[in-house]
Structure formats: structure tokens, C-alpha cells
Amino acid sequence: MATFSVVLGDPESGRAYQLEADGQDANRFIGKSVGEEVDGGALGLDGYTLEITGGSDETGRPLHESVAGTSLKAVLMHGTETGYRQRRDGERRRITVRGREIADDVSQINVSVAEAGSTPIDEQLGAAEDED
């Protein structure tokens, strides 16, 4: 069974929430790609739609949008792409990244709220109680 650490970003409040998805909830993410939308019910957020914005595998390699599938590939990067920051002008470097599709070997998934539900996230996750 797959288990994912899911980082949920809320663009309205600017807050991020760290959640766990395992069992049947984790299966809703398998086979999805970066940029696709997932029902928020997988994380206990009924009425929400979440967009997958990225992630990384257990060794820290980022998911890269230009690589299809789940395999590893060395990509020539320049500028400030995901997983690379150039140190001087014109520098390019080949970096190993993972494909954009989510599989069992992905350990962290980054998602953002695409469509908000009627109930605020704090209330559904019980985060409002923790702050008091």
C-alpha cells in the first residue's frame, strides 16, 4: 500500500498544511500527473478540488512536467527550473528527475486548492482548535 505525505497549499490564506494519505485515499493519487485535479475527499476535504502542483520521490528527486511516465531521466536544465538553480549566467547542468506521473515510489505530493468548498479548510481539518 502506498503512503504519501501531502502538502496542501491554500492560495487564499497563504497557509500550508501537511497531511497523510494512505490506503484507499492514496490510491486516488496514483496514476495522476502534475497539473491534474483530484477530489479533496481523499484528504478529508469534502467539496474541495485540488490541483497537483508537484512532488518528490523518497530520494528527493522532483517530479518534472516535461518527463512522461514515472521513470528517472537526466534533463538538461538552465535558469531556475524545478530542482535546479543556476549559479552563474549561462550555466546549464544535467539533473536527474522523476516523471510527472505519481506512482508508489513518490513520497511527497504538493497540491493546491483549485476549487474551494463551502466549509473553510481550518474547520474541516480541525486546525482552528489547535491554535487556541
From first to last of its 132 residues, what are the pLDDT tens digits of the chain?
A: 688 999 999 998 899 999 999 888 889 999 999 999 999 988 889 899 999 999 999 999 999 999 999 999 999 999 888 888 899 999 999 999 999 999 998 999 999 999 988 888 888 887 655 454
Question: Would you state the pLDDT for residue 132?
Answer: 45
Question: Would you state the pLDDT for residue 42?
Answer: 86
Give strand pairing partners of 72. 98
Beta carbons within 8 Å of 31's beta carbon, 6+ residues apart: 101, 102, 103
User: Rounded to an integer, what distance in angstroms lies between the CA atom of residue 127 and that of residue 89?
Assistant: 44
